[in-house]
Amino acid sequence: MPHVDEGTLHAYLDGELPSAERKTVDAHLAECTSCRAMLAEERALLERASALLGAARPVDRAAPPFEQLGVSRSRKRSPWRVRMPVAWAASIALALGVGYYLHEPNAASLTPRESSGIAYLMEQRAADANRDLPAPADEERKTSSRAPSLAARSKPAAVPTTPQLYDSVTVVASQTNKREAVLEAAPVVGVVAIPPAAAPRLRNAEPAPAASAVAKDSAVRVDGVIVASGASGAGGRKERAHLPTTTSWPIITRGAARSLLGTEPVGLPGLARQIRRSPTADGTVVVEQRIDSATTIQIFQRQSGMDSSGQARYYYRQQEREIAPADRLARYVGRLRVEIAGPLSTDSLNKLLDQVQPLP
C-alpha cells in the first residue's frame, strides 16, 4: 500500500479508524520506517495540542445537582445582597471618621485632580493603598491597630464640622439595638457597609470609646446595613447567615472583567483597584478600591440586560424585586448597573458614585 497520510494517522491515533482500515495501516507500519517515524511525529503533535488545550480549561467544579437544573438559575443569591458581617459600632466610627474627610465644603464638585477632600485623600493614600492591596493578611494586622485610633481621633472633629452627616448617623446609632426600626426610620437613602476585608479585623479591633458599649453587645451586630428610604426598608433586612464576602471572589484581570461585563468595568479614576468576579455564574464584577488603609469601596457592576435569553432577563428582574427597592445607591453607567458600598456616609458614597467611570 502507499504511505499513510497524516489524516489517516490521526484517525489511527484517535482510535477512530474502522477495523479493516486499521489492519491495513498496521501492516504497512510494520514494514515502513518512514511511516513509523511519521506516526511518532504525529503522536507528539497530538499530545502537544492536547496539552495546550488542557492549559485553556476552566477550573473543574462540581456540576450542580441535576435536579436543580432550570430551577437553580432563578434561585441564585443575588450578588447585590452580598453584605458582609459588620461590627456595627465600628462602622459608625468609620463612617464618621472617613466621612469627615470626605465632607469637605467643596466635596460636591470633586474631580480627582482638584484639591478637594477626596482628591487629597486619594493622593495621600494612593501609595499606601497600592502597597497594601496584594497583602490582605498584612493589611489586617496593621489596620487592627490603626482603626481605633482613626475612630477615636476623628469622632470629636466630625461633630462640629459635618452636621448633616452627623445627624443621619446619630439617628442610626441611637437605635442600634433595634435594627429593624433603624432600617425604616433612617432619613437617608443609601448603603453603608463594611467591606469584607475590613469586617473581621474591625470586630477584633478595640472599638472606639464611644462605641465600645454597643460593640460588645452581640445583638447589635448586623450582617450588613442597607439604609433605605422610609417606605421601603424591607430590602436588606433578611440577609443574615451565609453571606459570602467578596474576599472569596476570584480576582480577575480588567480584560476578563471586560469580557464578563461586555464593556469596560467602571470605578474611581486614580485609585488602585482590585477586580473580582462573583463565584456564581451571574456576571457580576466588583471593583474594590482602597481610599485609605481602612476604607475599601466596593463597586458592584453587571450588565443591565444580562443575556439575550428571556430567562436571564426574567431572573434579573426577579432579583431586583427581591432585594432592591429602586432607591438603593445604584445607577446605570452606560450599559452597566452599578452599585456602591463602603464604610462611608450615604453622601460620600453618592458622591463617589457620581465619579464612577470606565476604568482606564
Partner 1 sequence: MPDDIAEVYRNTYPALVRFLYRKVWDADRAEDLAQEAFARALVHRPDNTRGWLFVVAANMARDEARKAAREKRHLTLLKSEPDATHTAPEEEIDAETQAQRVRAALDQLTPRDREALLLWDAGLSYDEIAAQTGLARGAIGTTLARARRRLVEAYDAGLAGGGGQHAARG
Residues pairing with 276 in the sheet: 251, 286
Of the candidates 134, 163, 187, 230, which one interacts with partner 1 according to CB under 8 A? Answer: 134
Closest CB 27 distance from partner 1, rounded Å: 18
76 or 237: whose CB is closer to partner 1? 76
Three-state secondary-structure class, residue 275:
strand
Alpha-carbon gap, residue 107 to 344, rounded angstroms: 14
105 binds partner 1 (CB under 8 A): no
Site track 2-21 with partner 1 (rule: CB under 8 A), x = hit: ---xxxxxxxx-x-xx----
Closest CB 311 distance from partner 1, rounded Å: 7
134 or 163: whose CB is closer to partner 1? 134
Closest CB 206 distance from partner 1, rounded Å: 30
Closest CB 253 distance from partner 1, rounded Å: 5
Closest CB 332 distance from partner 1, rounded Å: 15
156 or 255: whose CB is closer to partner 1? 255
In sign, the C-alpha dihedral spanning 220, 223, 229, 234 is negative
274 binds partner 1 (CB under 8 A): yes
Residues pairing with 339 in the sheet: 300, 330
Contact call for residues 199 and 85 (beta carbons, < 8 A): yes
252 binds partner 1 (CB under 8 A): yes
Contact call for residues 263 and 336 (beta carbons, < 8 A): yes
Nearest CA to 341 among 24, 1, 94, 68?
A: 94
Alpha-carbon gap, residue 32 to 27, rounded angstroms: 9
Three-state secondary-structure class, residue 357:
strand
Of the candidates 3, 26, 27, 41, which one interacts with partner 1 according to CB under 8 A? Answer: 41
Of the candidates 254, 320, 325, 331, which one interacts with partner 1 according to CB under 8 A? Answer: 254
Q: Which three cell numbers stand for residue 45?
A: 503533535
Cβ burial 324-350 (10 Å sphere, 16+ → b, else e): bbebbbbeebbebbbbbbbbbbbbbbb
Contact call for residues 244 and 82 (beta carbons, < 8 A): yes
For the segment 53-82, give every residue that binds partner 1 (CB under 8 A). Answer: 53, 55-61, 63-64, 66, 69-70, 72-73
The alpha carbon of residue 112 and the mean position of all alpha carbons in its chain are separated, in whole angstroms, by 23
Of the candidates 82, 96, 199, 272, which one interacts with partner 1 according to CB under 8 A? Answer: 272
Contact call for residues 338 and 331 (beta carbons, < 8 A): yes
Binding part of the chain for partner 1, among 25-33, 47-55, 211-219, 323-331 by CB under 8 A, reads 47-55
- Binding residues for partner 1, how many (CB under 8 A)? 65
Contact call for residues 302 and 79 (beta carbons, < 8 A): yes
Alpha-carbon gap, residue 103 to 126, rounded angstroms: 19
142 or 237: whose CB is closer to partner 1? 142
46 binds partner 1 (CB under 8 A): yes
25 or 86: whose CB is closer to partner 1? 25
46 or 171: whose CB is closer to partner 1? 46
115 binds partner 1 (CB under 8 A): no
Cα–Cα distances (Å) from 255 to 5, 54, 189, in that order, read 42, 21, 33
43 binds partner 1 (CB under 8 A): no
Three-state secondary-structure class, residue 245:
coil
Alpha-carbon gap, residue 89 to 220, rounded angstroms: 8
42 or 292: whose CB is closer to partner 1? 42
33 or 309: whose CB is closer to partner 1? 309
In sign, the C-alpha dihedral spanning 341, 157, 202, 172 is negative
Closest CB 110 distance from partner 1, rounded Å: 21
308 binds partner 1 (CB under 8 A): yes
Chain residues binding partner 1 by CB under 8 A are: 5-12, 14, 16-17, 41-42, 45-46, 48-50, 52-53, 55-61, 63-64, 66, 69-70, 72-73, 133-134, 251-256, 259-260, 262-264, 272-275, 277-283, 308-309, 311, 335, 358-360
